[in-house]
Structure 1
Amino acid sequence: MWSALPTEMKLAVVGILDSGDIKSLSQVDQNTYTACLPSAFKSVKLGNSAVLQSFVDNVPRSYCRYIHQLDISIDHNASRSVTDLLIAILAAAPCLEEFVLHCTGSALHPKIIPCFGQLDRLERLSLHNNGPDELRPLSERLVVSIAASVPNLKHLSLDRVSRSFMHAPDLRGVFPYVPLVTGDDDIPDHSFLGADLYLPSLLRISTLTELFIRDTHLGDPRWATVPVSCKLQVVDLGSCYHENEAFNSVCIQRIMGAVGKTVDEFSLTTAVSDAAFAKPSVTPLQRLRKLHISPFFPVDSVVDTMSNLAGSPIESLSMQCYEDDVVDVCAALEDFLSVRVERGAGFYEKLARIDVSVTENEGSGPLDSDEDAECKQATKRLQELCRDLRLSTTISKAISPVAASRLARSTGLVPSRWAVPTDGRSRSMTL
């Protein structure tokens, strides 16, 4: 019966199966295996350099045309050129829509840049440095050139990108000694950006709508002067751990001022001290509706920052915190709501909901019974206050990064075994 079904029906059935069932079904016969290929290779995750090399050596290059989501992590044990391995996959993956790469900057050669110019369907790009900044930095010149080469890039996420000495010579030898990249002058001028391969040039990518930058030095003053061609809707800017809170705040406010006119959703890690953001007539964040506050935000700055952002039409506020900060966070939100009541009409009049997401402590163990009871009382008071003010609220548990990693492994979102035919026979290959 199955063999008699038209190919279209087989594809429809395969499309609703999970990865384990697809793998089992693919072993029925050669025709079924062929029907399973598009779903089996739609999302590929390669967990280390050996897995990447095995994929390139064993998976027929033609199968790469089925890849829509690609997630690659590269360690320090590569026995072959990582750049060449990546090029082999990217050059054969014209349908790629999302690419996540965890690697060290030293692992990538600039010759990979032209590959991204051929990926017309790629809309989501994430580049993360998983090596020490001082020894294996990921150059801003390389990152900017790659991002600017993607024809239809909409979402860009960067983590631990290092400033280039070419663009930040003033940081050399100056406290707090921010690590700089040298030797990246071999990255050629870009066809669109020319030699301006510094981070603020990302704002010249007209297709970009979502920008995430974390653990990266954002002190380049050109963030305030570069021509802004994109219309960012979602922005998430993290602090640089080499700089202090005051410096990071100034940097983030500078970028907020440059891109704020189109931003609908913003994630905040530092306090906002510029009172200009509090005035509806002059605030750059004229469309901001959703504000997220990270667990690293200074809790004692919540009220002042919220007051300074009063010029935006914020409808929802969400805060993420660790378990041992719950009491302080709830108290800070209560203080803010008290100020809202005192200020009356016009002060956060569009605010409709407040959400708190609690992440379990890592390394310090669970709360004791007294601490847990105190947290429950604090959240109950906040919920009651929100209810009295007719605000929707949820206080929920968020999964920790460690637990998320375990969940990913248990659900198959990690290297798994695929059946790959070779010379008419089937054999299994570990990815």
Structure 2
Amino acid sequence: MSRHASWNALPSEMRLAIVDLLEHDALAALSLASRANHTLCLPALFHTVSAPSFAALQAFLHHVPPAYGAYIHHLDICTRFLSPSPVVVPPSSPGTPRSDAVVRLLERAPRLERLHLRLAGGLAPHALAAFPALTRLSDLSIENCDEEDSAPLSERTVVAIALSLPSLRRLSLTRITRSLCPGVPAAFPSIPTDPANLILPSLLTIPSLRHLAIKDTHLGDPRFASELPTAPLESLELGAYDCLSPTENAANAARILSRVGPSLCRLVLSSALPASTAPFVFPALTSVRLTPLVSPSNIPDTLRSLRAPMKIIHLQTLPDDLEDVCEALEECEAGQWALHLGVLRALEGDVLAGDDKEDVVLDENARDAIRRLEGAGWLVGVEGAVSDEIDWDERTVVDDSSPVPSKRTSTGPEVWDIVIPS
């Protein structure tokens, strides 16, 4: 019996299991072997689609049959112009070509579960009509790729999208602009006042929402402290806004935390909590992460403000701040917490800059500071740093503050990246 016949003789379930394990090159090769294999590989090939530029998005729409969109479960779209597009796709409806292209792709993907939108030039109002049909979409990330003062992405747009998704569980927003109201820098363009519910505080009322992350966004809307019903959030990430002072960012974070219910179990903060704030009671909170934007001097008061059975404290810091962070922690009672120190080489906003993952070498002063913490009863693990004297790998605590990626997103075979030649 030939090899080809042997493959075809396998049960369909076994062939699908093998396809699911193949890496991208092998999967692509198998799909070209026969028409039957091509059909068999399509769900794996198009499970996750990434269009890293508007040109790539145009190419996908031009070259890929519309019916293949039914296989897309995870989608990453960027509408930024990175290079001139060799393919010009005429708009299907009035509006901007970039918004029209996004609409066309979303309309082809009725089974979409995860969507990452990196928008340049905003999103035209007519594009909002494409989202209510995405009944399976549970994970949504929207990021403004432009400078906020020149091309704002209004909260009206992102809130309208979020409220239209019936299955939304995870939402991440980056660089979203509030409507014109007190507290917004005067240099921003005037944005018309929103309808009453199209404001960022309305996100907390989405009943299906379990994870919310808002970064690089003005969070000073006083309506965050309203008495509206709140979704049972399990995970919350609040960034700091660089146009506000640390005191204002701290007050905004405290206002939002006052609305969060007892179901919260993971918290990420890029701003401190006010020292005068009454302790927040979160009985299920087991993991807290503070980014390097939290000043070391504010760490003790922030931790004291969180009255909870925390098991893991993640502190991200830059090398120059490591000693100050350790000294600040000496003011806190060690308790039963495990301390995870993440040493980052540099920051770009509130994230690690670039792709440089080379470890930082700790000097003797930093190592002494960590030893003092261990002597005070802290269980310390360090990530991103190396030392000739200490084996940090044995002490590193696994960061469980982020969801475990699915198999589809942790391996390469299912990602369809379109590269437009220059």
Class of the TM-score when normalised by the shorter of the 2 chains? 0.7 to 0.9
Q: CA deviation at 1:387?
A: 6.4
Q: In the alignment, residue 118 of structure 2 is paired with which amino acid? A: H
CA contact (8 A) 1:249 1:271 kept: yes
Matched, 1:361 2:377: no
| CA deviation after TM superposition for structure 1 residue 121, in Å | 1.3
1:109 matched to 2:105? The reply is no
Of 370, 373, 396, the match for 2:383: 396
Name the counterpart of 2:406: none
Q: Does 1:177 align with 2:192?
A: no
DSSP 3-state at the match of 1:179: coil
- Paired amino acid for 1:304: D
Aligned pair partner of 1:305 in 290, 302, 319? 302
Q: Which runs of 5+ in 1 are unaligned?
A: 190-194, 342-348, 399-407, 419-428
Q: 1:65 and 2:90 equivalent?
A: no
CA apart distance, 1:72? 1.0
- Amino acid across the alignment from 1:329: V
RMSD (Å), alpha carbons: 3.0
Aligned pairs for 1:262-281 within 5 A: 262-278=263-279
Deviation string 1:130-170 (CA, Å, 9 cap, x unpaired) is 101122110000000000101110000000000112xx2x3
Change (3 A) 1:260 1:277: farther
Q: Does 1:314 align with 2:310?
A: yes
Contact 1:47 1:414 (8 Å CA) reproduced:
no
Structure 1 residues 156 and 181: alpha-carbon distance in aligned structure 2, compared to 1, 3 A threshold:
farther
Q: Tell me the distance in 1 between the aligned counterparts of 2:241 and 2:187.
A: 9
Q: Distance in 2 between matches of 1:291 and 1:14?
A: 39
> Quick check: 1:146 aligned with 2:161?
yes
Q: CA deviation at 1:20?
A: 2.3
Query: Does structure 1 conserve the Cα–Cα contact (< 8 Å) formed by 2:59 and 2:418?
Result: no
What's the offset of the Cα at 1:61? 0.9
Normalising by structure 1, we get a TM-score of: 0.79
Q: Distance in 1 between matches of 2:174 and 2:61?
A: 26
1:199 aligns to what?
200
Which residue of 23, 26, 35 corresponds with 2:28?
23
Q: Where does residue 291 of structure 2 map in the other structure?
A: 294
Question: Are 2:104 and 1:88 equivalent residues in the alignment?
Answer: yes
Separation in structure 1 between the aligned mates of residue 175 and residue 154 of structure 2, nearest angstrom: 9
CA distance in 2, matches of 1:154, 1:177: 34
Question: Residues of 1 paired with 2:413 and 2:16: CA distance?
Answer: 21
Cα separation, 1, equivalents of 2:371 and 2:200: 41
Does the CA-based 8 Å contact 2:27-2:413 persist in structure 1?
Answer: no
Residue 223 (structure 1) shift: 0.2
Rounded to whole Å, the distance in 2 between the matches of 1:14 and 1:111 is 39
Amino acid at match of 1:117: P
Conserved? CA contact 1:171–1:178, under 8 Å:
no
Q: Write the letter of the residue equivalent to 1:60.
A: P
Q: Report deviation, 1:384.
A: 6.1
Displacement of 1:270: 1.5
Aligned with 1:262: secondary structure?
Answer: coil
**Separation in 2 of the partners of 1:131 and 1:413?**
29
Question: Hey, what's the Cα distance between the residues in 1 that align with 2:372 and 2:250?
Answer: 33
1:237-262 CA-partner distances (Å, limit 9, x unpaired):
01111111111110110000111432
Question: Counterpart of 1:182 in structure 2: which amino acid?
Answer: I
Cα 1:82/1:201, change in 2 over 3 Å: same
* Equivalent-residue separation in structure 2 for 1:355 and 1:229 (angstroms): 31
Superposed CA deviations along residues 111-144 of structure 1, whole A, max 9, x for unmatched, are 2222211112111000000101122110000000
State the TM-score, normalized to the length of structure 2.
Answer: 0.80
Contact 1:164/1:184, CA 8 A, preserved across alignment: yes
Structure number with higher relative contact order (C-alpha < 8 Å, ≥ 6 residues apart)? 2
> How many pairs align?
374
Counterpart amino acid of residue 113 in structure 1: L
Report what 2:7 is aligned to. 2
- 8 Å contact from structure 1 (residues 114, 149) kept in 2: no
